[in-house]
Amino acid sequence: MFRSLHMKLVLIMVLLIVSLMTVVGAFLINSVAGFYTREFYSQMADVFNEDQSLYRDLSESTGEEEDSVAMIRDVLRGYAGALGIDSRTRNYYILDGETARYLGGSDDENGPTLEITPNLTAALAGQYGSRSDPSADYMDVALPLERGGESYIIYIRDNRQTVQLLNAQLFTLIVEALFFGLVISVLLSFLLSKTMINPIEKLTAGARRVAAGDFSSKLEVASRDEIGVLTGTFNEMARQLQDTIREVENERNKLGTLFLYMTDGVVAFSRDGAVIHSNPAAEEMLGRSIPIGGEVGYTDLFGDVAPLEEVLGVEGSLSAERQAGERSLELLLAPFSGEGQGGVLVVVHDVTEQRKTEEMRREFVANVSHELRTPLTNIRSYAETLADSAGSLPPETEKNFLGVILNESDRMTHIVQDLLTLSRFDSGRSELRLAPFSFEAAIRDIYNANLMEAQRHGHTVRLELEPGLPQIVGDRERILQVMMNVVSNAIKYTPDGGQILLSAGRTGERVWMEVADNGIGIPKADRGRIFERFYRVDKARSRESGGTGLGLSIAKEIIDRHQGTIALVDREGPGTTIRIELNIGGPDHGT
Chain residues binding ligand ADP by CB under 6 A are: 485, 489-490, 493, 517, 519-522, 530, 535-538, 542, 547-553, 576
Q: Measured from the CB of residue 400, what is the shortest distance to ligand ADP in angstroms?
A: 24
Q: Which residues pair with 143 in a beta bridge?
A: 154
Looking at the Cβ atoms of 119 and 542, the one nearer to ligand ADP is 542
Q: Measured from the CB of residue 526, what is the shortest distance to ligand ADP in angstroms?
A: 7
How far, in Å, CA of 180 to CA of 104, rounded?
51
Looking at the Cβ atoms of 155 and 493, the one nearer to ligand ADP is 493
Crossing angle between the packed helical segments 395-427 and 352-389, to the nearest 10 degrees: 160
Q: Measured from the CB of residue 264, what is the shortest distance to ligand ADP in angstroms?
A: 36
Looking at the Cβ atoms of 106 and 548, the one nearer to ligand ADP is 548
Looking at the Cβ atoms of 57 and 526, the one nearer to ligand ADP is 526
How far, in Å, CA of 307 to CA of 550, rounded?
49
How far, in Å, CA of 207 to CA of 238, rounded?
9
3-state class of 3 per DSSP? coil
Q: Measured from the CB of residue 519, what is the shortest distance to ligand ADP in angstroms?
A: 5
Looking at the Cβ atoms of 97 and 547, the one nearer to ligand ADP is 547
How far, in Å, CA of 161 to CA of 350, rounded?
111
Distances (CA, A) of 509 to 130, 435, 473: 143, 17, 12
Looking at the Cβ atoms of 199 and 575, the one nearer to ligand ADP is 575
Q: Measured from the CB of residue 536, what is the shortest distance to ligand ADP in angstroms?
A: 3
**Quick one: DSSP state of residue 469?**
P
Q: Measured from the CB of residue 582, what is the shortest distance to ligand ADP in angstroms?
A: 19
Size (the chain), residues:
591
Looking at the Cβ atoms of 264 and 538, the one nearer to ligand ADP is 538
Maximum distance among all Cα pairs of the chain, rounded to whole angstroms: 205
Looking at the Cβ atoms of 416 and 537, the one nearer to ligand ADP is 537
What is the layout of strands, in order, in the sheet containing 275-278?
A: 275-278, 265-270, 343-350, 327-336, 318-324
Q: Between vectors from CA 40 to CA 38 and to CA 46, what angle results, nearest 5°? A: 100
Residue nearest to ligand ADP (CB): 547
Sign of the CA dihedral running 341, 342, 344, 346: positive
Q: Measured from the CB of residue 565, what is the shortest distance to ligand ADP in angstroms?
A: 16
Q: SS3 letters for 26-73?
A: HHHHHHHHHHHHHHHHHHHHHHHCCCCHHHHHHHCCCCCCCCHHHHHH
Is residue 96 within 8 Å of 103, Cβ to Cβ? yes
Looking at the Cβ atoms of 88 and 456, the one nearer to ligand ADP is 456
Is residue 378 within 8 Å of 355, Cβ to Cβ? no
Q: Measured from the CB of residue 430, what is the shortest distance to ligand ADP in angstroms?
A: 18
**Quick one: DSSP state of residue 470?**
P
Looking at the Cβ atoms of 510 and 533, the one nearer to ligand ADP is 533
Q: Measured from the CB of residue 505, what is the shortest distance to ligand ADP in angstroms?
A: 20
Q: Measured from the CB of residue 388, what is the shortest distance to ligand ADP in angstroms?
A: 33
Looking at the Cβ atoms of 371 and 475, the one nearer to ligand ADP is 371
Pair type for strands 275-278 and 102-105: unpaired
Q: SS3 letters for 208-271?
A: HHHHCCCCCCCCCCCCCCHHHHHHHHHHHHHHHHHHHHHHHHHHHHHHHHHHHHCCCEEEEEEC
Q: Measured from the CB of residue 549, what is the shortest distance to ligand ADP in angstroms?
A: 4
